[in-house]
Amino acid sequence: MPIATVNPATGETLKTFDALDDAGIDRRVAAADAAFRDYRTTSFADRARLLRRAADLLEEDQADIARTLTTEMGKPIGAARAEAAKCVKAMRWYADHAERLLADEHPPEADVRDAGAATARVHYRPLGPVLAVMPWNFPLWQVVRFAAPALMAGNTGLLKHASNVPQTALYLEDLFRRAGYPEGCFQTLLIGSRAVERVLRDPRVAAATLTGSEPAGRSVASIAGDEIKKTVLELGGSDPYIVMPSADVEKAATTAVTARAQNNGQSCIAAKRFIVHTDVYDAFAERFTAGMAALRVGDPMDESTDVGPLASEAGRDGLAELVDDAVRAGATVLCGGRRPEGLADRGWYYAPTVLTDITPDMRIHQEETFGPVATLYRVADLDEAVRLANDTYFGLSSNVWTRDEQELRRFVRDLEAGGVYVNGMTASHPALPFGGVKRSGYGRELSGHGIKEFCNATTVWQAA
């Protein structure tokens, strides 16, 4: 795949970039390693000062970088500005909290004595240069939620961004440079996917984090495993959105539209499978379908647009194939199911779609729908809801709508997911751990869990 900015609203190639050659890669890896030797010894106060400066600069750049995001991957301009603001918030959160999160841990005195020590503690040290393989769907946020904690922990970063968002990738390197970070602390590698193995096998690279597809995760995990290097993987999701009879159905249906269509439907944590109790199914289906059908599809630079184009032609065509396969196998289209009228001949648009009468033999029952397409299921009771919710290879997050405490306890106990969001939609926040189970990956980003992923938890034992 060429490294290029291709406007998904028009299909026009706006700018192309040359990939780094082997010598260029080696220079950047060497710079990251050299920077780590000094940066690892800096104080939390100094790191926080740099990260706050980066946050200030990003806040100043918000309008300009939002236009870049929209141009490169097609998200509505308002959502692009919100993404930049979220990154500012996360940077400031880690600047404020990293020192506390990585403070030495002291076991109880009785355990210290039992270990034969006068004192014992756990001290957190950075690992070194970390390779981040990042996706295009949230091209700022995905990077910042890695970079902010990694840099505050004393690591350095090497970013291999998706090949269709090169200008965003270069902006991020420039942002940290302008903030005053030492040379080599955070660098962008303009490389294709085939060059990732070379970087990951370099002995100077300590670890890797990847957000992306299951095949990409398998590849990085395999290479890293061979090299015995730490990885964090956040892969796909097919999140259930369960609505029970005690729920506020109107609010659940309204929120469901946002949960499915956010970021043009291209979000790992977007709700994708809507599992509704039969007692409220008809009311929910009517409201939800009307809400999806009412979304305005169009130019993502237009402030009134709700859903822009998908990020690539291949992504749009793959989504259409899933829908067409389901329809051929007997699925019912409640709305959408096609390219929108007036936009079919330009850009990579797809109409917000709701499908029902889904059966297990349909591809869409198991495969992730990365676009504004929802599948709607009717269930008879809580047991069936749980079984259907867990009938997926993925386990990223989940959404539950109920006001019954007993039902809630059951969902929290039994849903196979990295999160259970109750009477609301899944959203990431710097204070809360984020990640999944099963084929959605392993490890956690954000919160104290995320900042410790790329640290060496060092036991310090001192004799009596």
Cα separation values, 175 from 93, 140, 144, 211, 277, Å: 18, 11, 11, 21, 48
E strand or H helix at 243, and its extent?
strand 239-243
**Catalytic residue flag (residue 214):** no
Residue 123 burial (10 A CB sphere; 0-12, 13-18, 19+): middle
Q: Which two tokens stand for residue 365?
A: 């029952």
Q: At what angle do helices 166-178 and 141-152 cross, to 10 degrees?
A: 30
**Among 457, 455, 395, 391, residue whose Cα is nearest residue 420:** 395
**Among 297, 299, 323, 311, residue whose Cα is nearest residue 348:** 311
- Note the residue count of the chain: 464
| Amino acid letter for position 285 | A
**Catalytic residue flag (residue 72):** no
CA 25, CA 442: separation in Å to the nearest integer? 28
The catalytic position among 87, 185, 268, 335 is 268
Do 296 and 341 form a contact (C-beta atoms < 8 A)? no
CA 238, CA 322: separation in Å to the nearest integer? 14
Angle in degrees, CA 117, 120, 125, rounded to 5: 145
Do 211 and 234 form a contact (C-beta atoms < 8 A)? yes
**Among 182, 186, 144, 165, residue whose Cα is nearest residue 58:** 144
In this structure, what are the phi and psi dihedrals at residue 48, rounded to the nearest 5 degrees? -65, -40
Enumerate the active-site residues: 234, 268
